[in-house]
């Protein structure tokens, strides 16, 4: 049920995310060592163009990758087809993108 | 318990248009006995109404493929002792993922239709009036084709594939393996047509590399590897077309 | 439940990849929502962050980092299978992916336990 186009999007988003995931895990280990209260986190991330760019790219990729992945699972394991399948795929995309950008803005936006 | 007796417990799937169920039989044990020997004995001596397929009996044609204790195999090349393992009953069913006509006989039409849908047919570039095209046996593409070419279309890989079970329209490992062999064949003039055909919605990109096909292929082929090659080449073609699209028109 | 054709390690690798992806897809909206509390409800965020002191929350975090690691390493194995010359050592690579994920998750847990 996947054609070449969705396959390429899935692989491309995965390839872009690989270094972002490594970076994210490294950031989490750092954050856990250096203070995990809201103020401490925001002190590091607020007004940062670097973190905004990093996590925005991450959000776009994860929304695409997650939506396509859930699409395949919905088709193969839950038997969804047609507009139901499309609805679930787009719902996953928009919720991950929407919530994701909201999180990025909340954490890196101006004080 | 059964091993000490002289008989083997066998359960065979019996079906007709009304439905199906396993039927139990007792077959004399022999030291060297294949599953096909057992099925043949039952049909010849116990129940002539049993339907099953076989032809060569020697592991060359693939006609006798069935599900034996849950595993798709060539019954002529499967010794009963190996199929049993630790269990005491031999359970024989038709191949998975294919419609059952009767008992152990499946409808292979959809399997062959997918072969054609994958464009896995030879596209000739010469006629009988042209000299024979020389093939470079050392070329990497020829080696890739040779690795995939021994498929006899027995459908064991197709029966083993979970993606086929989840998506009945998926072209399947055998058709795609054949497509890969032809993509690498220097004599085939339809390389792009094949790559386009396998890039369709239910084509090679649906493979999840579970490798159940490679694990069960009696000819030790690796359709997962072939499909990976198709993914690579079809992605290259798609990207090339994407970037050159602006130049057309 | 598992048919005979499923009982091999590369099939298990497929299942792990699929389930870890599904787990991450279900977890992420919650993760994003908690982070967005930073904007309008910092106290709630601090409240959530306090929970990370609890040992069983750390175990859950360990699980999540493992899911992320195994999904990524497994995915990289798949992309190497597809785009690099095929390696016959797929079972070894799948095992290495799982091992790598355990190591990364353990590193995270250790730093969370001894420094957090």
Contact A49/B at CB under 8 A = no
Reported as type and span, the H/E element at residue A75 is: helix A49-78
User: DSSP characters for B182-237?
Assistant: HHT-TT-S-HHHHHHHHTSTTSGGG-----HHHHH-TT---HHHHHHHHHHHHHHH
pLDDT at B249: 41
Q: Which residues of C66-100 are buried (b: 16+ CB within 10 A; e: fewer)?
A: bbbbbbbbbbbbbeebbeeebeeebeebbeebbeb
**Beta carbons within 8 Å of B143's beta carbon, 6+ residues apart:** none
pLDDT at C6: 64
For residue B153, the number of C-alpha atoms closer than 13 Å in the C-beta half-sphere is: 14
Determine whether the interchain pair C28/A32 forms a contact, defined as Cβ–Cβ distance below 8 Å: no
Contact B51/A at CB under 8 A = no
With 70 as the cut, is the pLDDT of residue C51 above it?
yes
pLDDT at B232: 94
Confidence of residue C112 (pLDDT cuts 50, 70, 90): confident
Task: Report B:78-107 residues touching C (Cβ under 8 A).
Answer: 96
pLDDT in tens, A32-79: 777 777 777 777 788 888 999 999 999 999 999 999 999 999 999 999
- Please tell me which of the candidates C8, C18, C86 has its beta carbon nearest to residue B215: C8
Task: Report B:146-165 residues touching A (Cβ under 8 A).
Answer: 163
Contact A5/B at CB under 8 A = yes
In C, minimum Cα distance to B231 occurs at: C82
Distance from B27 to chain C by nearest Cα, in Å?
24
Query: Mean per-residue pLDDT for C90-116?
Result: 85
Confidence of residue C1 (pLDDT cuts 50, 70, 90): very low
Tell how far CA A27 is from the center of its chain: 16
- Please tell me which of the candidates A21, A32, A99 has its beta carbon nearest to residue C33: A99
Query: Does B18 or C26 have the greater pLDDT score?
Result: C26
ipTM confidence score: 0.89
Interface size B-C, in CB pairs within 8 Å, comes to: 44
Which of B62, B98, B96, B101 has its CA nearest to residue B78?
Answer: B62
Distance from B170 to chain A by nearest Cα, in Å?
7
In B, minimum Cα distance to C1 occurs at: B70
- The pTM of the full predicted model, rounded to 2 decimals, is 0.92
Using a CB-CB cut-off of 8 Å, the residues of chain C touching A41 are 38
Using a CB-CB cut-off of 8 Å, the residues of chain B touching A6 are 205
Under 8 Å between Cβ of B228 and A11: no
**Beta carbons within 8 Å of B233's beta carbon, 6+ residues apart:** B183, B195
- Please tell me which of the candidates C3, C4, C78 has its beta carbon nearest to residue B209: C78
In C, minimum Cα distance to A8 occurs at: C79
In C, minimum Cα distance to A38 occurs at: C46
DSSP-assigned letter for residue B114? H
Contact B239/A at CB under 8 A = yes
- Tell me the pairing of strands B19-28 and B71-74: unpaired
pLDDT in tens, A81-102: 999 999 999 999 999 999 999 9
Candidates A1, A4, A7, A81: best to mutate against B (most CBs of B within 10 A) is A4
pLDDT at B234: 94
For residue A89, the number of C-alpha atoms closer than 13 Å in the C-beta half-sphere is: 18
Query: Mean per-residue pLDDT for A11-20?
Result: 96
H helices present in chain C, as ranges = 9-40, 42-51, 55-83, 90-115
Confidence of residue C35 (pLDDT cuts 50, 70, 90): confident
pLDDT at C31: 92
Query: Mean per-residue pLDDT for C77-82?
Result: 94
Query: Does C60 or B151 have the greater pLDDT score?
Result: B151
Mean pLDDT by 10 residues, chain B (249 residues): 75 91 96 95 97 96 96 96 91 96 97 97 93 92 95 97 96 98 95 95 95 96 97 92 67
Confidence of residue C115 (pLDDT cuts 50, 70, 90): low
Under 8 Å between Cβ of C28 and A96: yes
pLDDT at B1: 47
Length of chain A: 111
pLDDT above 90: percentage of residues in chain A: 64
Under 8 Å between Cβ of B169 and B118: no
Task: Report C:73-102 residues touching A (Cβ under 8 A).
Answer: 75-76, 79, 82
End-to-end C-alpha distance for chain C, whole angstroms:
42
As to burial, measured by CB atoms within 10 angstroms (0-12 exposed, 13-18 middle, 19+ buried), residue A8 is middle
pLDDT at C4: 65
Candidates C36, C73, C83: best to mutate against A (most CBs of A within 10 A) is C36
The partner residues of B26 in beta bridges, in order of sequence, read B9
Distance from C42 to chain A by nearest Cα, in Å?
6
Neighboring chains of C (3 or more beta-carbon pairs < 8 A):
A, B
In A, minimum Cα distance to B203 occurs at: A3
Q: What are the angstrom distances between the C-alpha of B28 and each of A33, B11, B33?
A: 71, 14, 10
Rounded to whole angstroms, the Cα distance separating B121 from B190 reads: 9
Determine whether the interchain pair A76/B238 forms a contact, defined as Cβ–Cβ distance below 8 Å: no
- Please tell me which of the candidates C25, C35, C49 has its beta carbon nearest to residue A106: C35
In C, minimum Cα distance to A104 occurs at: C36
Rounded to whole angstroms, the Cα distance separating A74 from A93 reads: 14
Is the sign of the CA dihedral B112, B114, B115, B116 positive or negative? positive
Query: Mean per-residue pLDDT for C60-67?
Result: 91
Distance from B160 to chain A by nearest Cα, in Å?
16
pLDDT at C5: 58
Rounded to the nearest 10 degrees, the angle between the axes of helix B173-183 and helix B191-198 is 150
Query: Mean per-residue pLDDT for C72-91?
Result: 92
């Amino acid at each position: 049920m996947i054609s070449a186009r969705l396959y390429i999007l899935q692989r491309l988003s995965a390839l872009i995310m690989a270094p972002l995931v490594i970076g994210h895990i490294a950031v989490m280990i750092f954050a856990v060592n250096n203070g995990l209260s809201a103020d401490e986190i925001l002190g590091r991330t607020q007004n940062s163009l670097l973190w905004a760019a990093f996590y925005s790219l991450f959000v776009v990729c994860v929304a695409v990758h997650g939506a396509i992945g859930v699409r395949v699972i919905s088709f193969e394991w839950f038997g969804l087809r047609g507009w139901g399948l499309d609805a679930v795929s787009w719902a996953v995309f928009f919720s991950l993108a929407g919530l994701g950008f909201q999180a990025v803005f909340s954490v890196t936006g101006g004080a | 318990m059964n091993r000490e007796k002289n008989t083997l417990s066998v359960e065979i799937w019996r079906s007709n248009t009304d439905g199906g169920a396993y039927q139990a039989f007792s077959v004399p044990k022999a030291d060297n006995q294949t599953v096909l020997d057992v099925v043949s004995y039952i049909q010849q001596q116990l129940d002539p109404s049993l339907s099953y397929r076989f032809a060569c009996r020697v592991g060359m044609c693939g006609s006798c493929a069935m599900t034996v204790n849950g595993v798709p195999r060539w019954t002529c090349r499967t010794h009963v002792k190996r199929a049993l393992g630790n269990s005491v009953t031999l359970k024989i069913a038709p191949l998975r993922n294919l419609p059952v006509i009767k008992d152990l006989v499946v409808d292979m039409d959809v399997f062959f239709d997918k072969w054609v849908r994958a464009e896995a047919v030879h596209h000739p570039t010469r006629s009988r009036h042209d000299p024979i095209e020389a093939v470079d046996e050392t070329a990497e593409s020829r080696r890739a084709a040779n690795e995939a070419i021994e498929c006899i279309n027995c459908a064991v890989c197709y029966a083993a594939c979970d993606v086929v079970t989840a998506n009945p329209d998926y072209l399947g490992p055998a058709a795609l393996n054949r497509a890969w062999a032809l993509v690498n064949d220097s004599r085939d003039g339809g390389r792009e047509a094949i790559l386009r055909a396998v890039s369709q919605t239910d084509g090679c990109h649906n493979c999840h590399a579970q490798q159940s096909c490679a694990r069960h292929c009696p000819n030790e082929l690796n359709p997962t590897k072939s499909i990976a090659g198709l993914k690579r080449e079809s992605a290259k073609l798609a990207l090339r077309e994407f970037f050159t699209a602006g130049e057309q028109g | 439940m598992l048919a005979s054709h499923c009982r091999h390690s590369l099939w298990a690798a497929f299942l792990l990849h699929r389930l870890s992806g599904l787990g991450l897809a279900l977890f992420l909206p919650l993760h994003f929502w908690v982070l967005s509390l930073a904007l309008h409800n910092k106290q709630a965020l601090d409240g959530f962050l306090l929970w990370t002191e609890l040992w069983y929350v750390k175990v859950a975090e360990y699980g999540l980092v493992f899911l992320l690691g195994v999904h990524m390493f497994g995915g990289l194995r798949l992309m190497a299978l597809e785009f690099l010359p095929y390696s016959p050592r797929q079972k070894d690579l799948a095992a290495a992916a799982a091992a790598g994920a355990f190591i990364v998750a353990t590193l995270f847990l250790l730093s969370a336990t001894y420094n957090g």
